[in-house]
Structure 1
Amino acid sequence: MGTNLDALTHRDAPGWAGLNVLVTGLGVSGFAAADALLERGANVTVVDGKEPAAGSPLADRAEILGVLGAHLLLGPQHPQALPEGGAPDLIVTSPGWAPHQPLLAAAAERAIPIWGDVELAWRLRPEQGAAPWITVTGTNGKTTTVQMLASILSAAGLRATSAGNVGTPVIEAIQDPQGYQVIAVELSSFQLHWSHSLRPLASACLNIAPDHVDWHGSLEEYTRAKGKVYENTEIACVYNVADPVTERLVEQADVQEGCRAIGFTLGMPAPSMVGLVEEVLADRAFIDDRQRSAAELGTLDDLRDASGHVAPHVIANALAAAALARAAGVPTSAIRDGLRAWTPEPHRIAHVATKDEVTWIDDSKATNPHAATASLTAYPSVVWIAGGLLKGAKVDELVAAARDRLRGVILIGADREQIAEAMRRHAPDVPVIDVANTDTDAMDRVVQEAALLARPGDVVLLAPAAASMDMFENYHQRGVAFAAAVERHLQEG
């Protein structure tokens, strides 16, 4: 139909009606995209490689979209090629679909525009009064930072929410009937790859470490996708002083006139940074006399967990969230109040129990070596529970960095031998227990072995450095199994 997609800049643009759109993927984000497009009058076809089982969430979503008028192509044959008939005006893809996926590769060859669900959400905002976005990406820490940020924004009296990669799809957030004053948006590298026109108020890339290289094709492409978070930023690009790659991405970004680069650091902040002055979170970026003074944003006491501990990467996430909030004009008092009100997500450095001076910590969300490194280096003496699906990731640097902290290591999962080999190379004197069981009951043996290794003052830490799907449905189920096994063991003891 020759629709000018560049004219689709808000939800009431006339070009949505009659637009022929192919939506790939019928997960949560794909369903939200198809639903929103149907509401605007688009002709929507949905493709998914799974055949929905009766009563499943996929079947429910398919039924709803069918009633609303979508054309559904469900089954393993459909993602292998573009549907027969005329080419769609636009493809809106779910984040998990990689560029080399056959249908998307065929679309690219034919120059059919491809948007992600986040790009669609940006273009479906209201023409007037749209809530600004504050965007966050990074290999690790995204969810924590976004939730801290949302808590801070709410403490400032703003109607705010978090959305994006984990939790509420952004499309749902921008269609909220009451509307938001600001949205904290978590963006994965997948979502950023398929985004083209976002213009955030402030943005951050927390860190870069090898991840999802199979999806992007190379570490360079993965890094480039992460760097897109800074494009067109209006007020502040927040980077990690300890990760020079993030600063370089800011330097390379095409931003709006007047946008500033703001660093966060666990050290003493220089001007135009936020950081730590002893145990005080300090702002030397958003105050008048930043050359000679700093503003207090909170203290480490505002972040400590039930055991009185605060991990360095949690502090870094808080500083990043504070910098983003300050860029949005939030007062210093709201930073402290928001951090105090923030509650960590389950399975992220979660305190399970402390007994006989041994602390049990669930960080099942540490699904890659970079996340596990941050977790391990937060404690001086650790019995480490690791293993699962490494997805091609290397663990030598992780083991070398953590070896002096390790009381012992207990290995689980499909790729545990790769970690065992790294232990033999870099920490041969550390005891390693191999738990070959691959059923979910293996966690009871894991906990029993950990208890035998642990000494008073130690932390028993589940930080697998690997995905969970070889033994568990997801990292949540893995963390639940660990906590339940700890509880059983301590009750028996």
Structure 2
Amino acid sequence: MKLELCDSRRLTGANLYWDRPAAIIDVAIEGAADEVVETWVKAVRRWLDCVGYTEEETCYRLYQGGASLLVSAPIDVLYSMCELNEVAWAETCHRFGLGEAPDPGEEEPRLNRLFDEERNPPLLALQEAARENGVPFLWDDDEVSLGYGETARSWPPDRLPAAGDVDWSAHGAIPIVLVTGTNGKSTTVRMTASILTAAGYRAGLTSTDFIRVGDRLIDSGDYSGTGGARLLTRQPDVDMAVLEVARGGLLRRGLGVEHANAAVVTNVAADHLGEYGIHSVADLIPAKFIVHRALGPHDPLILNADDAGVAEHGPKLGKSICWYSLDAAHPKIEEARAEGGSACFYRDGGLYARQGAEDRCVAEIMDIPAVRGGIVRYNVSNALAAMAAAIALGIGDEAIRSGLAAFRGDEHDNPGRGNWFERPAEGGPVRILVDFAHNEHGMSALADTVNAVGADRVILLMGQAGDRLDKDIADLVRAACGMRPDRLLIAELPGYERGREPYEVPRLIRQEAEKIGIPPSNIETFPDPREATASALQRARAGDLLVLLALTQRSEALSLVHDYLGKRDTSGG
């Protein structure tokens, strides 16, 4: 038998398993998993008795090759509960003949000391009072806050006010939308924020690229987790928030807010499989749907009816659903019509909303720059999701039209995602598409767009991080080759090998491309995306379409594109 502790962490909000915070360990198990888990549960109960937390509960999830093991905990002792969970696991391993047994004479006083040092009764009292008064409550290692936006106030965790001294009427909430999914969530977040801005609100957003309120950039970086949610909702100038919620943050920490007014699931497809016990799309679907735990009984769960997994899983949750689809005759849309529910759909060049007994056209495709006349189908879908979210917040049709028209999908309002450039040339323009497609689902959608646009030659630049499975990389390449590239430029991603040897991923990409039928002479490998971009631009000629998938070094790639657009010579090949 093999038993191994892979990861130990805190779940600070509602999560895949339940609505409460917990200490979680991910473990590898080769052998009788049920027997191992049963032994762990008994060990946890003994150690909980030792530290006086007998009312806490356990739960677990078995998966291929391992398990996730949780112990619930009040928010003020989560670090200590992680220690307890690890001790219980060590005892479990020992009972199966692996490792030394924890010494009760050492571990019991150590754990009690840790719990005593971490315990913070004023924090729990403030949390409970906030719940009773319906006031948003956020906490982390550095700050505890009440209220959102201009009503937010923060204190250090060791200098908290007594619950009775707080003027609870001075703290309030702001409308919040959560957006998750494998692809399209960043664009949907930014489209929604554009609509809210057009409606006159100071819209804040978090994303994998930055966090901002209106045009004010707070910081650059990945803010799609709990930290981004806290930072944004504590800003004094935010009065509506759209939060990108990524898979990693959901599985590492859970939700960053307790309540949202609407939640969007764009789609669920294979990506980042093999992490946190998520080995298949079937595993990933419930993880994405964690966002439903933030919704009240009447808050809409906005779902993409065109995604089979989303359409199947959503109705199981007992939530109020607003479906959206590119097909006006989709069964889910027809079902919403029959039941008097809400839906958004595309029909005859327009984005329509169904509420009650009427369909109404909210926006015309030709007035939405990011969809390029309807060619970019995935952005039509994202626009429907953003429209549905805006309607859920009570935004009027005129603001929705204005917001979608203002969102150009360029490098300024959606950097690295569907950014189109064109350089005039005799014989036809050189067109350039900079995008972030990085999984089979997103790449297939991009290939549809490229094929709809057409070109004399397609020059494709791609790479991939090393933490993807070989199969996922092969699937990505097959989808990419659906663009029928005349030249394939493969870029190594320095710093993103993630356990693989240098150039191992480019070799896998080349092998799969050659299997598909790309001639070896039409494939080149480069040390990084910048050099690959420079080569593509140097050899571009009239009529070409350059598809640059800038997963890293995006700013460098965009800078090279701008340099190229400023030149006159269009020769090369």
In the alignment, is residue 448 of structure 1 matched against residue 519 of structure 2?
A: no
Unmatched 5+ stretches in structure 2? 1-9, 15-73, 89-114, 119-136, 148-167, 212-227, 493-504
| Corresponding position of 1:355 | 424
Distance 1:329 1:447 in 2: 46
Task: After TM superposition, give the deviation of residue 276 of structure 1 in Å.
Answer: 0.9
Task: After TM superposition, give the deviation of residue 310 of structure 1 in Å.
Answer: 4.5
| Corresponding position of 1:64 | none
Task: After TM superposition, give the deviation of residue 179 of structure 1 in Å.
Answer: 4.7
| Corresponding position of 1:320 | 385
For residues 149 and 179 of structure 1, do their structure 2 counterparts lie closer, same or farther at Cα, with a shift above 3 Å needed?
closer
The number of aligned residues is 376
In the alignment, is residue 413 of structure 1 matched against residue 491 of structure 2?
A: yes
Given candidates 239, 250, 263, the residue that maps to 2:314 is 250
Matches within 5 A, 1:434-473: 434-438=524-528, 440-449=530-539, 451=540, 456=543, 458-463=544-549, 467-468=551-552, 472=553
For residues 179 and 395 of structure 1, do their structure 2 counterparts lie closer, same or farther at Cα, with a shift above 3 Å needed?
closer
Farther off after superposition, 163-172 or 274-283 = 163-172
| Corresponding position of 1:262 | 322
Distance 1:227 1:306 in 2: 27
For residues 433 and 239 of structure 1, do their structure 2 counterparts lie closer, same or farther at Cα, with a shift above 3 Å needed?
same
Whether the aligned pair in 1 keeps the contact of 2:368 and 2:408 (CA below 8 Å) is no
Whether the aligned pair in 1 keeps the contact of 2:344 and 2:353 (CA below 8 Å) is yes
Whether the aligned pair in 1 keeps the contact of 2:464 and 2:473 (CA below 8 Å) is no
Given candidates 177, 198, 217, the residue that maps to 1:134 is 177
- Report SS of the residue matched to 1:379: helix
Distance 2:442 2:254 in 1: 25
Whether the aligned pair in 2 keeps the contact of 1:420 and 1:432 (CA below 8 Å) is no
In the alignment, is residue 144 of structure 1 matched against residue 187 of structure 2?
A: yes
Distance 1:250 1:373 in 2: 24
Amino acid at match of 2:382: N
- Report SS of the residue matched to 1:425: helix
Amino acid at match of 2:232: A
Task: After TM superposition, give the deviation of residue 406 of structure 1 in Å.
Answer: 1.5
Given candidates 342, 363, 374, the residue that maps to 2:445 is 374
Whether the aligned pair in 2 keeps the contact of 1:383 and 1:406 (CA below 8 Å) is no
* TM value normalised by structure 2: 0.58
Whether the aligned pair in 2 keeps the contact of 1:303 and 1:310 (CA below 8 Å) is no
Whether the aligned pair in 1 keeps the contact of 2:461 and 2:491 (CA below 8 Å) is no
Whether the aligned pair in 1 keeps the contact of 2:302 and 2:389 (CA below 8 Å) is yes
Given candidates 245, 251, 257, the residue that maps to 1:187 is 245
| Corresponding position of 1:171 | 230
Give CA-to-partner distance per residue, 1:438-480, whole Å, 9 cap, x none: 483343223334x26xx73x5221136xx43xxx4xx343443
- Computing the radius of gyration from Cα coordinates, the structure with the larger value is 2
Farther off after superposition, 236-245 or 259-268 = 259-268
Whether the aligned pair in 1 keeps the contact of 2:461 and 2:532 (CA below 8 Å) is no
Distance 1:423 1:171 in 2: 44
Amino acid at match of 2:393: A
Distance 1:243 1:417 in 2: 32
| Corresponding position of 2:559 | 480
Whether the aligned pair in 2 keeps the contact of 1:134 and 1:201 (CA below 8 Å) is yes
For residues 226 and 123 of structure 1, do their structure 2 counterparts lie closer, same or farther at Cα, with a shift above 3 Å needed?
farther
Amino acid at match of 1:268: A
Matches within 5 A, 1:157-236: 157-163=200-206, 165-168=208-211, 169-180=228-239, 182-193=240-251, 194-195=253-254, 198-220=258-280, 221-234=283-296, 235-236=299-300
Given candidates 196, 199, 202, the residue that maps to 1:153 is 196
- Report SS of the residue matched to 1:298: strand
| Corresponding position of 2:398 | 333
Amino acid at match of 1:347: G
For residues 442 and 149 of structure 1, do their structure 2 counterparts lie closer, same or farther at Cα, with a shift above 3 Å needed?
closer
In the alignment, is residue 237 of structure 1 matched against residue 301 of structure 2?
A: yes
Give CA-to-partner distance per residue, 1:257-276, whole Å, 9 cap, x none: xx421222112152342111
Whether the aligned pair in 1 keeps the contact of 2:185 and 2:244 (CA below 8 Å) is yes
Distance 1:368 1:107 in 2: 38
Farther off after superposition, 183-192 or 265-274 = 265-274
- Report SS of the residue matched to 1:410: strand
Amino acid at match of 2:76: D
Amino acid at match of 1:229: V
Distance 2:285 2:506 in 1: 28
| Corresponding position of 1:392 | 468
Amino acid at match of 1:421: Q
Amino acid at match of 2:275: W
Unmatched 5+ stretches in structure 1? 10-86, 93-102
Whether the aligned pair in 2 keeps the contact of 1:389 and 1:413 (CA below 8 Å) is no
Distance 1:276 1:433 in 2: 39
Give CA-to-partner distance per residue, 1:142-188, whole Å, 9 cap, x none: 111111111112222333221254422322322222451x2111111
Amino acid at match of 1:387: G
Task: After TM superposition, give the deviation of residue 431 of structure 1 in Å.
Answer: 7.0
| Corresponding position of 2:86 | 109
The structure whose residues are more often helix, as a share, is 2
Give CA-to-partner distance per residue, 1:310-335, whole Å, 9 cap, x none: 51111111100111111122222221
In the alignment, is residue 277 of structure 1 matched against residue 366 of structure 2?
A: no
Two-structure CA RMSD over aligned residues (Å): 3.8
Distance 1:214 1:476 in 2: 30
For residues 404 and 246 of structure 1, do their structure 2 counterparts lie closer, same or farther at Cα, with a shift above 3 Å needed?
closer
Give CA-to-partner distance per residue, 1:257-297, whole Å, 9 cap, x none: xx42122211215234211111101112xx2214xxx1111
Amino acid at match of 1:391: D
| Corresponding position of 2:215 | none
